[in-house]
Amino acid sequence: MTVILDPLQLKEIMPNAKDEDIDFYLDALNRQLNLYEINTPLRQAHFIAQIAHESGAFRYKSENLNYSAKALKAVFGKYFPTEELAQECARKPEKIANSVYANRMGNSDTESGDGWKYRGRGLIQLTGCENYEKCSQVIGKDLIEEPDLLIHDPDIAVGAACWFWDMKKLNRHADEDDLKTITKKINGGYHGLEDRASYLDRAKKIFNV
């Protein structure tokens, strides 16, 4: 089954999206989704709902790490246990990324700069050297050496999101209409669940699910 997206559908699902951002991704979405069998109305509704939330309705192509000290304590409290540490990194995105993402997800230590180099990019915010490497092997693009391809090339951004979706076997959970499980597998928790649900409700109406 092939489901073709059009810009009016995406605009109704994401009313705050800019036309130029929808146009940036539209052709790539229609090329890539069928390759990963995201090809039923329900699967596409769930996929669009998730990427809409993760990308701020296609506005953000890379992770916004410009946190205040208060936000650092709230979001990344385990990495900033003291007010002093939070103040030291506040409003310094590169320093925050290198602190928060060091020594995990395939990244090296803080000094390596891997946290910043492999910060969240693309429609599902691909994060960490390990994910960049695995994704590179599947989509045939060297994201280790050129991570900003996820920002500048819509086919690569969409392809990486589809790869992540496929790796996590999310079509199965979409078939079960299981928003919470999909959200947890993407986010690690349930952050933004209400917003994701709003996108999903609109997408279901548009796709007649």
Q: Give the number of domains in the chain.
A: 2
Of residues 160 and 1, the one with the higher pLDDT is: 160
Q: Residue 162 has what pLDDT?
A: 97
Angle at 208 between CA 204 and CA 209, to 5 degrees: 55
Please state the pTM of the whole predicted model.
0.92
Closest by Cα among 14, 41, 43 to 26: 14
Cβ pair 13, 199 in contact under 8 A: yes
136 pLDDT more than 80? yes
Q: Give the residue-averaged pLDDT of 116-141.
A: 96
192 and 127 in a single domain? The answer is yes
List the structure tokens of 88.
Answer: 């030291």
48 & 111 share domain = no
Supply the mean pLDDT for the chain: 95
State the DSSP string of 74-137.
HHSTTT--SHHHHHHHTT-HHHHHHHHSTTSTT---GGGTHHHHT--BTTTTB-SHHHHHHHHH
Residues 113 and 128 in one domain: no
What pLDDT does residue 137 have? 97
Instruction: State yes or no: pLDDT of 2 exceeds 70.
Output: no
Residue 78 lies in a domain: yes
pLDDT of residue 4: 80
Range of the domain at 126: 7-62+122-206
Q: What is the rounded average pLDDT of the residues 144-148? A: 97
Over residues 57-106, the pLDDT tens digits come to 999 999 989 999 999 999 899 999 999 999 999 999 999 999 999 999 99
Q: Is residue 1 part of a domain?
A: no
Same domain, 130 and 50: yes
pLDDT at residue 155 in the model: 96
Q: Report the CATH number that the domain containing residue 46 is assigned in CATH.
A: 1.10.530.10
Domain membership of residue 2 (yes or no) is no
151 and 79 inside one domain: no
**What average pLDDT does range 163-167 have in this prediction?**
97
In the predicted structure, residue 35 carries a pLDDT above the cut 90: yes
